[in-house]
């Protein structure tokens, strides 16, 4: 699926080429599901489980089940809207579209703050875990004071700020946690939690009277229904991963199907994990004198109370009792989880504030993109300042509560939006529809209204229910932010939105569709200096195949920047594409152009091949690769190995583009056949002579030499005709690649097919063609035939048959 926008201006004159701009969607269902799972199994399960156990007692297991149920009533709203509007911005854009102002502004305002405060929670948790790491492994006492000034709490806050600044800088630079790395981190977290659950359950059932902990009343829910619902509200932040899923909707392949699936799959994975972790922690822990002392309790205290007093370290302490190497293992998992969550929430909070700046509801500098890094640097920087302030000024319980309140308010707006849009947008393409409308979102609104007061009550807002003031701090923080939002909206945003509406005028855009042919050659342009030579080759191949040419260039933007914003950088690419398209137009070959916007150029090329059903791709290659982990270069390697079409890679040598002589080394096979076709096409246009060559060992017997001669004669007969002159030779050499490289000095161009090295070797075209491509004195084209669904066994028998025919002199 591609989002296409013509950039032809006010209309194309007859015969003028149009250049389209397309979004490259490269995230699979698995990728987007892991994003949701990674966000939900983040710092929440490590930092909040202990606190929540102190509120709900053993009934925390029920609280997590109910939380999953409550979250599902909002998840269905995100599934429907995320499938219909796969764009960066999520709930903010939907509310802005459906509800009257200032609802849209407040949706973005609260979403920005909620993600920022959630990030502050993860930062503070990281500081706590890293400090505990030093306490455990460096021998620091619990109540240490570094240099007599920095006590434990201050050290935790400083570490939190350092990590916020570090990840803000990483996001500014455009570095990203790649999809594979994200999957690895999430898998590690799940595996470690799985070990925790297994040992915790084993420790639980070993106790003869373990069922009394979970079944006896009132010990099962010591604070009653109020405590259970309070724990639900307190941990509700852990289930907001679907908000981050829809934030990446514009990058997902087939978002109409995959976004809803990812929302539901992630919930189905996460809720059981939370329930099992709570069960293992409460049932498996043993209240020893040392543990009770750390919690400020006696050994007679119930396990849930000990966990509650230990707070964010409750899970760590529990693991230290019943999991081998449990403390370092859980600290490692907690640090990995918090760092992963920090990166994700800085990313999501900056995206929301960037979208608001782009819409002018926040000052315009929020919507600026750095010219070099191509990241929303102002949005990232100011989000980091907000996150750092929250991390320093608020206790961790208040941080979590403030984020919960903001997310609850945002989810209420989203649930009402999905109801409203059924009336205001009846023709919206809904690939997923909520059943039994409008009841699920309305039930979600009611349930979330119920959670909020109980959350604040349990955190101590009302005397008699809890000893702390965290709920009061969270409520005041929320109220101050909402009041500040009123000032910003009525003092700035309202007027700027009106100005934007006045400036917007409709634009007439037309496109000239290329003359469609049955075959298409795709030409990705990366280096403008080589573009003309690549196009000359593409024109020759297209004429031979009676094909059209699609010229493309990829604009890479960091993951921190919405793909659609890459349109700001297309002008230079469009100029290059337009200039090389003129070469095809002058040669009377049908041509069109596209600029693909994506996070990875190689993936963008593969998307273009699949979406345009290209039959061949011709890429340029600079020569020696810069990194040892790639053969030809990351983008070239990826396309050569994954493209579902014929692949040609051209390394342009020191030539003026004139081709009078072509070397065609051949050893037979489908790739050599493609190389021969390319040779013939180029030779016809340039009136060039083809020299077909085979290499044999100096000690080869007569039979091998005869086979080699038959092979070159067969290939010569296939490429030669009245228009193409062909010569042949069989040369001796101990090293086939070196012999071919030496021969390239005699020719203007060498075309060589891929070879058949084993699948376990780190090769793209094979050792011989890659050596020739790297060391040849002239321009080289490496060719790889698309073998489609032909099995390895079928290709093996075909080669044996071809060799038999060559030996018997009856053609290849």
* Per-residue b or e along 633-658, where b marks 16 or more CB atoms closer than 10 Å to that residue's CB: bbbbbbbbeebebbbbbbbbbeeeee
Q: Are the CB atoms for 156 and 123 separated by under 8 Å?
A: no
What secondary structure letter does DSSP report for 251? G
Half-sphere exposure of 95 (CA within 13 A, CB side): 25
Which pLDDT score, from 0 to 100, does residue 616 have? 93
Which pLDDT score, from 0 to 100, does residue 418 have? 93
- Torsion angles phi and psi, residue 169, rounded to 5: -65, -40
Whether this prediction's pTM lies above 0.75 is answered by no
Measured CA to CA, the distance from residue 274 to residue 74 in angstroms comes to: 19
The string of pLDDT tens digits covering residues 29-46 is 888 888 888 878 876 788
In 546-669, which residue ranges form alpha helices assigned H by DSSP? 570-586, 601-612, 634-642
Of the candidates 623, 672, 618, the one whose C-alpha atom is nearest the C-alpha of residue 776 is 623
Half-sphere exposure of 625 (CA within 13 A, CB side): 15
Q: How large is the C-alpha radius of gyration of the chain?
A: 32
For residue 207, count other CB atoms closer than 10 A to its CB: 13
Which pLDDT score, from 0 to 100, does residue 557 have? 74
Measured CA to CA, the distance from residue 303 to residue 315 in angstroms comes to: 12
Enter the tokens of residue 73: 């009533």
- How do beta strands 150-151 and 145-146 pair? antiparallel
Of the candidates 430, 478, 489, 432, the one whose C-alpha atom is nearest the C-alpha of residue 455 is 478
Enter the tokens of residue 207: 């106790």
- Cα dist from 166 to 159, 163, 172, 346, 384, whole Å: 10, 5, 10, 11, 10
- 147 CB contacts (<8 Å, ≥6 apart)? none
For residue 327, count other CB atoms closer than 10 A to its CB: 19
What secondary structure letter does DSSP report for 744? G
- How do beta strands 591-598 and 547-556 pair? parallel
Half-sphere exposure of 731 (CA within 13 A, CB side): 22
- 241 CB contacts (<8 Å, ≥6 apart)? 35, 36, 37, 38, 39, 40, 266, 270
What is the SS3 assignment for 695? strand
Which pLDDT score, from 0 to 100, does residue 16 have? 39
Phi-psi region of 227 (alpha: psi -120 to 50; beta: other; left: phi over 0): alpha
Measured CA to CA, the distance from residue 188 to residue 183 in angstroms comes to: 9
CA atoms 455, 461, 463, 468: torsion sign: positive
- 681 CB contacts (<8 Å, ≥6 apart)? 540, 541, 543, 544, 545
Of the candidates 521, 497, 526, 476, the one whose C-alpha atom is nearest the C-alpha of residue 681 is 521
Which pLDDT score, from 0 to 100, does residue 250 have? 72
The secondary element (H helix, E strand) that includes residue 523 is strand 519-524
Enter the tokens of residue 97: 């579209």
The string of pLDDT tens digits covering residues 464-477 is 334 345 557 777 88
Q: Are the CB atoms for 610 and 574 separated by under 8 Å?
A: no
The beta-strand segments (E) located in 533-573 are 547-556
Enter the tokens of residue 386: 């907000």
- 664 CB contacts (<8 Å, ≥6 apart)? 675, 676, 679, 690, 691, 692, 693, 715, 719, 750, 751, 752
What is the SS3 assignment for 86? coil
Of the candidates 750, 713, 751, 749, the one whose C-alpha atom is nearest the C-alpha of residue 730 is 713
Measured CA to CA, the distance from residue 469 to residue 463 in angstroms comes to: 9
- How do beta strands 4-6 and 591-598 pair? unpaired
As a residue count, the chain comes to 812
Measured CA to CA, the distance from residue 634 to residue 649 in angstroms comes to: 13
Of the candidates 37, 91, 36, 89, the one whose C-alpha atom is nearest the C-alpha of residue 441 is 91
For residue 469, count other CB atoms closer than 10 A to its CB: 15
Measured CA to CA, the distance from residue 55 to residue 608 in angstroms comes to: 54
Which pLDDT score, from 0 to 100, does residue 266 have? 92
Measured CA to CA, the distance from residue 505 to residue 538 in angstroms comes to: 40
Which pLDDT score, from 0 to 100, does residue 295 have? 81
For residue 786, count other CB atoms closer than 10 A to its CB: 15
End-to-end CA distance of the chain: 41
Enter the tokens of residue 476: 């005041």
Mean pLDDT by 10 residues, the chain (812 residues): 38 45 70 83 78 90 93 93 78 81 84 85 87 82 68 85 90 63 79 92 87 75 86 82 78 86 92 93 87 84 88 85 88 85 80 82 83 83 90 78 82 92 85 92 92 70 44 76 88 65 36 59 86 90 91 77 67 79 89 82 85 89 55 71 89 77 88 91 90 90 88 87 86 90 92 67 70 88 78 45 53 42
Which pLDDT score, from 0 to 100, does residue 277 have? 93
CA atoms 219, 225, 230, 232: torsion sign: positive
Q: Are the CB atoms for 461 and 468 separated by under 8 Å?
A: no
- Cis peptide leading into residue 176 (ω within 30°): no
Which pLDDT score, from 0 to 100, does residue 530 have? 82
HEC states along 792-806?
Answer: HHHHHHHHHHHHHHH
- Cα dist from 77 to 6, 66, 97, 355, 713, whole Å: 32, 18, 15, 21, 68
For residue 236, count other CB atoms closer than 10 A to its CB: 28
Which pLDDT score, from 0 to 100, does residue 276 have? 94
């Amino acid at each position: 699926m591609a989002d296409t926008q013509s950039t032809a201006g006010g209309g194309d004159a007859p015969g003028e080429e149009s250049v389209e701009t397309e979004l490259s969607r490269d995230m699979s269902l698995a990728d987007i599901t892991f994003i949701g799972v990674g966000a939900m199994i983040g710092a929440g399960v490590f930092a909040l489980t202990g606190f929540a156990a102190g509120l709900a007692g053993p009934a925390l297991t029920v609280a997590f089940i109910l939380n999953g149920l409550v979250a599902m009533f909002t998840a269905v709203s995100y599934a429907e809207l995320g499938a219909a509007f796969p764009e960066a911005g999520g709930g903010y854009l939907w509310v802005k579209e459906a509800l009257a102002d200032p609802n849209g502004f407040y949706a973005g305002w609260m979403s920005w703050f909620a993600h920022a405060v959630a990030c502050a929670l993860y930062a503070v948790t990281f500081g706590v875990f890293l400090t505990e790491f030093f306490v455990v492994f460096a021998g620091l006492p619990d109540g240490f004071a570094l240099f007599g000034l920095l006590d434990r709490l201050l050290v935790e806050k400083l570490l939190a700020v350092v990590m916020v600044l570090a990840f803000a800088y990483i996001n500014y630079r455009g570095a990203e946690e790649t999809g594979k790395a994200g999957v690895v981190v999430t898998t590690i977290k799940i595996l470690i939690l799985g070990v925790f659950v297994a040992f915790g359950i084993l420790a639980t059932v070993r106790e003869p009277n373990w069922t009394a902990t979970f079944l006896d009343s009132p010990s099962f829910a010591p604070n009653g229904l109020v405590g259970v619902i309070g724990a639900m509200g307190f941990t509700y932040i852990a289930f907001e991963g679907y908000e981050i899923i829809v934030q990446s909707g514009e990058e997902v392949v087939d978002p109409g199907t995959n976004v809803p699936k990812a929302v539901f799959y992630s919930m189905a994975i996460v809720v059981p994990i939370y329930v099992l972790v709570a069960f293992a922690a409460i049932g498996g822990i043993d209240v020893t004198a040392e543990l009770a002392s750390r919690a400020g309790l006696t050994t007679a205290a119930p396990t849930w109370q000990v966990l509650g007093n230990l707070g964010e370290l409750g899970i760590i302490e529990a693991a230290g009792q019943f999991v081998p190497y449990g403390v370092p293992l859980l600290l490692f998992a907690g640090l990995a989880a918090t760092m992963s969550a920090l990166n994700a929430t800085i990313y999501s909070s900056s995206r929301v504030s960037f979208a608001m700046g782009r819409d002018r509801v926040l000052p315009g500098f929020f919507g600026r993109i750095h010219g070099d890094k191509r990241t929303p640097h102002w949005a990232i920087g100011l989000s980091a300042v907000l996150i750092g302030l929250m991390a320093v000024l608020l206790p961790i319980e208040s941080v979590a509560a403030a984020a919960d309140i903001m997310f609850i308010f945002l989810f209420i707006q989203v649930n009402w939006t999905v109801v409203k849009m059924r009336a205001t947008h009846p023709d919206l393409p809904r690939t997923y529809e909520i059943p039994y409308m409008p009841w699920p979102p309305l039930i979600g609104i009611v349930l979330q209204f119920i959670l909020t007061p109980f959350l604040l009550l349990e955190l101590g807002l009302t005397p008699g229910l809890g000893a702390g003031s965290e709920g009061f701090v969270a409520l005041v923080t929320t109220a101050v932010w909402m009041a500040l939002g009123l000032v910003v909206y009525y003092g700035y945003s309202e007027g700027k939105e009106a100005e934007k509406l006045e400036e917007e005028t409709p634009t007439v855009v037309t496109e000239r569709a290329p003359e469609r042919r049955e075959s298409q050659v795709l030409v990705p342009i990366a280096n403008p200096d080589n573009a003309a030579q690549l196009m000359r080759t593409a024109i020759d191949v297209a004429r031979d195949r009676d094909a059209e040419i699609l010229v493309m260039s990829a604009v890479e933007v960091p993951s921190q920047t919405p793909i659609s914003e890459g349109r700001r950088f297309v002008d230079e690419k469009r100029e290059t594409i337009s200039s090389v398209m003129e070469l095809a137009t002058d040669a009377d070959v049908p041509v069109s152009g596209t600029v693909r916007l994506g996070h990875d150029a190689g993936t963008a090329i593969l998307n273009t091949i699949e979406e345009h059903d290209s039959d061949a791709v011709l890429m340029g290659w600079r020569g020696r690769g810069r990194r040892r982990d790639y053969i030809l270069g990351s983008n070239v390697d990826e396309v050569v190995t994954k493209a579902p079409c014929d692949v040609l890679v051209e390394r342009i040598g020191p030539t003026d583009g004139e081709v009078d002589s072509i070397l065609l080394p051949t050893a037979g096979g489908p790739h050599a056949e493609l190389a021969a076709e390319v040779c013939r096409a180029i030779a016809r246009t340039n009136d060039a002579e083809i020299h077909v060559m085979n290499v044999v060992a100096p000690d080869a017997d007569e039979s091998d030499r005869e086979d080699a001669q038959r092979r070159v004669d067969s290939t010569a007969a296939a490429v030669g005709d009245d228009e193409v002159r062909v010569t042949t030779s069989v040369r001796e050499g101990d090293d086939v690649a070196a012999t071919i490289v030496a021969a390239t000095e005699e020719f203007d161009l060498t075309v060589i097919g891929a070879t058949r090295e084993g699948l376990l070797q780190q090769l793209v075209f094979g050792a011989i063609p890659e050596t020739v491509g790297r060391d040849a004195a002239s321009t080289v084209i490496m060719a790889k035939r698309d073998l489609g669904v032909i099995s390895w066994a079928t290709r093996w028998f075909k080669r044996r048959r071809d060799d038999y025919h060559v030996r018997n002199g009856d053609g290849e």
